[in-house]
Amino acid sequence: MLNAPVIAMAAQANGYRFVAFDGGIFAYGDARFLGSMGGSRLNRPIVGMAASPSGNGYWLVASDGGIFAYGDATFAGSAVGAGINNAIGIAANTVNGGYYVTTSDGHIYNFGSAETYGDIFNISYVATGPLNRPIVGFSFS
């Protein structure tokens, strides 16, 4: 039995990891367990996971923008203190390094060497203002 539901997955070449709402990590295949927030008291639940470009590490993000880094995934900052409580995901920048955190209202926060490409609030072909529905996923390619 799980203590909390699985909410995200991060793949690597010959394996993958799942993360649960409470920060518990489950590793399969060649993916190594490198640590978790499972069993720790969290201010906000974990809402996303991203593998480092090498696959030898991963980041977890909590709904308040807090970042937890494991393995070779380098901590480059967090959105805690930015007044958010609606982070929904994290994505690694596989080209330049660093990572992005996104919120359900479409804001993107970049950390480390992750370049800013814009978000829903500053893209010319998208109407600005509130969304009809919240953003529920995010990826970088």
Residues (pLDDT < 50) of the chain are: 123-127
What's the rounded Cα separation, in Å, for the pair 10 and 8? 7
pLDDT at residue 136 in the model: 61
Residue 35: count of CB within 10 angstroms of its CB:
14
pLDDT at residue 39 in the model: 84
pLDDT at residue 138 in the model: 64
Contact 19, 38 (CB under 8 A): no
